[in-house]
Amino acid sequence: MTSQSLPELQEKLARRRGAQKQPTKIPTTIRVDADILAAFKATGKGWQTRVNHVLREWLNAQ
């Protein structure tokens, strides 16, 4: 077994993302009512994308 330093091991195991097809999203924190969040989360995987879609629809309607 070869001895590797922690940074070398982290570099070897790091996941790499390729070029993004669309602009990357910006992580943020917002406060919403608990029932709203629960309803979106109950829709399963992709709930954050659905929140983004609803917000975009609202913005486009303004």
Domain, as residue range, for 45? 27-62
- Is residue 48 situated within a structural domain? yes
Say what the pLDDT of residue 21 is: 77
Give pLDDT < 70 ranges for the chain: 1-2
- Is residue 61 situated within a structural domain? yes
Give, in degrees to the nearest 5, the angle at Cα 23 between 33 and 55. Answer: 25
What's the pLDDT tens digit per position in 26-39? 889 999 999 999 99
- Is residue 45 situated within a structural domain? yes
Residue 59 phi, psi dihedral angles, 5° rounding: -60, -40
The encoded tokens of residue 12 equal 């070897």
- Is residue 37 situated within a structural domain? yes
- Is residue 41 situated within a structural domain? yes
Say what the pLDDT of residue 14 is: 76
- Is residue 13 situated within a structural domain? no
CB 46 within 8 A of CB 53: no
